[in-house]
Amino acid sequence: MATEQPFFLIDDLHVEIEENEILRGVDLSVKRGEIHAIMGPNGSGKSTLAHTLMGHPSYEATAGQVLFNGEDILERDPNDRAKLGIFLAFQYPLAIPGVSTLNFLRTSLKAVKQEEISARQFRKHLLEKMDLLKISREFAGRYLNDGFSGGEKKRMEILQMAVLEPELAVLDEIDSGLDIDAIRAVGEGISSLMHPEMSIVIITHYPRILHYVRPDYVHIMVDGKIRQSGGFELAEELEAKGYDVLLKEVMQTSS
Amino acid sequence: MSQSSVEQVPLTALQGITADAWQEISRACEEPDWVRDLRQKAWEAYVETPLPTLRDEDWRRTDYRELQLEDLLLYMPAGIEAACEADLPESLRSHSETGDDWGGMVVQVNSEIALTRLDETLQAQGVILAPLAQAVHTHPELVQPHLGRIVTPDDGKFPALHGAFFSGGIFCYVPPDTTVELPIQALVWMNAENIAVFPHVLLVADRGSQVTFVERYASPTLEAQSFSCPATEVVAKDGAQVRHVTIQDWGRHVIELGFQRLRVDNDGHLLTILAATGGKLVKNYVDNSFAGSGVEAFHRGFFFTDGTQHMDYKTMQDHLAPYSTSDLLIKGALRDRSRAVFTGVINVRKGSKRTDAYQENRNLLLSKRARSDSIPILEIDNDDVRCTHGSATGQVDQEELFYVMAHGLNKNDAARMLVEGFFSEVIQHTPLDGVQAQLAGKVQEKMAGWQVED
């Protein structure tokens, strides 16, 4: 791997929600072009980390820092983080009735890139990405996520990532609620968008999607902290042993 | 009051709610006896009906005591002569010109009709569009069976007042099995203060006909109070398909107490759109009466209040016959210190089996100081029916806001997008593209200067 400075660094991050500490000192260092997987059982703090990285107002960082291109972003609003090039794929994407997918993404792209893009130009851009991800063009005119199935919503998140072209994509349980075929479609979609200037942090409970989005590093998060890190083999180990066995081993080592 | 004292008062100086006053209007219009009789009966009902007060369930959230009815002029001439739409003042045309192609246009200014235009193709089809005061003479056989019989003096104090004092007025008739391709617009415009207007719309869509009709109420905002007391009567006869749009965009000095009833006969189809953004204090009854069986009715509407506006809308889905379906969704947004009351009634009368009625009201509070009441009422006198309702009032959803902000929009822009989307769900059902864009623009206008509260 490259030796340059990590462009994304989480340093001893502590986060509370309603005065309960959920993250208890998370450290993570991501370089350009890397894929990191954060795995962990339910309640380990994975989604809290995702929300915190994007600046959800209910999550309060009480200590530590999150550096993006050397700048601490913890005080930044979610929209500013998006402008910096951070993208969060939501575990539970929201429906925005009354706003078409096309309009939503055009407005979003204009805001993120801070430049005008004609309706015609954008339409072309969007349809290209839809074709690339094998998403029916019919979705462009539909209200965003309104009445979409779970799988359709997740594919829309990937479409958004394709359109917005972030430098860092945080994918929060992009595979949850999907059947095997949908996981494959979503996973292959993500892989097709990856390039050397981009990084991905993929948060997941299950190892399956990692066969399509192969991480350079795998981190196991338990109880608000990353307890073990390794390569892809760690995900394979988890797949073979399951959380119960692996966690016991992990906790013994770390204590 | 004696007859002689009345004759000294010109129509333009009529003041005070008296029998002499409405008789003077009737006389000036040289009305046939049967119209005069209608006014007489309405007047009697008016006199007998007590003024609604805050003690009446229907009125306890809407205090209209600021209305100074006795001080208002009861008849105000149009003061505008227009041979065609181009002759109308620019301020008025900014409302009526939507980019849609209108097959017919009637404009009432204050108490008089200033313009009536109907395309030759529609005339050739037998469509009638005329000032009501004229139609009672020329088409009594079409007017008399319905005028004052759909909205009656028994509907309340203000419908009774209207029945005695109506002036101007618009009549539209579509013959049987006639499809009117181009929409018709009726605009009521008020350009004076200290006046009361009593506009009347009577739309009769005969058997198997199809028509799109837009009713618009608008005015500039003036200093002193004005009062609007309108009544709309719509009849969709067997198999008729009526698309009816009501746009209430009064200036901020207007108090309105109005009543609308749309009657649908067997197998009729009704689509209604309601868009209410104007006025100072507005209370309207929107009564959909499904008199026939097999009716399909689809209602979408919104209100948007700001400043100290007060709006009170009461809708009724009145199922009087079996096998009918009605679906109503009203959305509201409230800014600043405004106040809104929505009451949605589903009434399923005895014998109206297999009724399928749905009602939903969703309100968005855009300020902590705004207040909204949502009151669903289900009166079901039947077993074999399906009736459901939903009601939700809340602020801009924080999770939705975060989702949109995470896509690069700042908090205000994100909230605006959500509010516009909220209304777009309703506005998208408006049958005319131009009107649809106009209503979307109105929502943006109402959002101007708004900041999301923490």
- The CA–CA distances, whole Å, from B432 to B29, B102, B310, B439 equal 35, 10, 28, 11
Cα–Cα distance measured from residue B285 to residue A95, given in angstroms and rounded to the nearest whole number: 33
pLDDT grade, residue B383 (50/70/90)?
confident
Stated as kind and residue range, the H or E segment containing B42 is: helix B33-48
**C-alpha distance from A33 to closest chain B C-alpha (Å):** 22
- Is there a contact between B418 and A96 if contact means CB atoms under 8 Å apart? yes
Closest CA to B78 of B123, B114, B125, B42: B114
- Half-sphere exposure at residue B358, Cβ-oriented, CA atoms within 13 angstroms: 10
- Best of A18, A47, A48, A56 to disrupt the B interface (most B CBs within 10 Å) is A56
Q: What is the pLDDT of residue B213?
A: 98
Given an 8 Å threshold on Cβ–Cβ distance, is A54 in contact with B400?
no
Residue numbers in B near A93 (CB within 8 A):
403
- Residue pairs spanning A and B at CB distance below 8 A: 79
The pTM of the full predicted model, rounded to 2 decimals, is 0.91
Mutate to test the interface with A, among B362, B407, B413 (most CBs of A within 10 A): B407
Q: What is the mean pLDDT of residues B268-296?
A: 98
Q: For B153-208, write each residue's pLDDT tens digit.
A: 999 999 999 999 999 999 999 999 999 999 999 999 999 999 999 999 999 999 99
Neighbours of B389 (CB within 10 A): 17
Domain boundaries, chain A: 2-94+166-254
Looking at CA atoms only, how far is residue B360 from chain A in angstroms?
A: 16
pLDDT digits (tens, 9 = 90+) for B425-446: 999 999 999 999 999 999 999 9
pLDDT of res. A254? 63
Is B428 close to A98, i.e. CB distance below 8 A? yes
Instruction: Report the Cα–Cα distance between both ends of chain A, in Å, rounded.
Output: 30
Instruction: Show which of residues 418-437 on chain B sit within 8 Å of chain A, judged by CB atoms.
Output: 418, 420-425, 428
Model confidence at A251, in pLDDT bands (50, 70, 90)?
confident
Q: What does the pLDDT look like over B388-420, one tens digit per residue?
A: 999 999 999 999 999 999 999 999 999 999 999
**β strands within A6-109, DSSP E:** 8-17, 20-30, 35-39, 59-68, 71-72, 86-89, 96-100
Give me the DSSP letters along B120-172: HHHHHTT-EEEEHHHHHHH-HHHHTTTTTTSS-GGG-HHHHHHHHH--S-EEE
How far off is chain A from B175, nearest CA to CA, in Å?
A: 37
A220 burial level (CB within 10 Å; 0-12, 13-18, 19+): buried
Tell me the H-state helices in chain A.
46-54, 78-84, 101-113, 119-132, 150-164, 180-193, 232-254
Residue B5 pLDDT more than 80?
no
Mean pLDDT of B141-159: 98
Q: Which residues of B touch A97 (CB under 8 A)?
A: 421-422, 424-425
Determine what percent of chain A is predicted with pLDDT higher than 70: 98
Identify the pLDDT of residue A250: 78
Q: What is the pLDDT of residues B31-51, one digit of tens each?
A: 999 999 999 999 999 999 999
Nearest Cα residue to A12 out of A23, A26, A2: A26
The interface predicted TM-score (ipTM) is 0.96
CA B292 vs CA A10, A148, B51, B71: distances in Å: 68, 37, 33, 43
Query: What is the predicted pLDDT for the residue at B9?
Result: 64
Which of A99, A100, A142 to mutate to probe the B interface, most B CBs <10 Å?
A99
Q: Tell me which CATH homologous superfamily contains domain A2-94+166-254.
A: P-loop containing nucleotide triphosphate hydrolases (3.40.50.300)
Residues of A in CB contact (< 8 Å) with B are 54-58, 77-79, 81-83, 88, 90, 93-94, 96-99, 104, 107-112, 143, 160, 164
> pLDDT at position B249, please?
98
The answer to whether the Cβ–Cβ distance between A79 and B414 falls below 8 Å is: yes
- Which positions ≥6 away from A195 have C-beta within 8 Å? A33
Q: List the single range of A113-122, B221-230, B365-374 with lowest mean pLDDT.
A: A113-122
What is the pLDDT at residue A100? 95
Q: What is the pLDDT of residues B242-277, one digit of tens each?
A: 999 999 999 999 999 999 999 999 999 999 999 999
Distance CA A147, CA A143 (A): 8
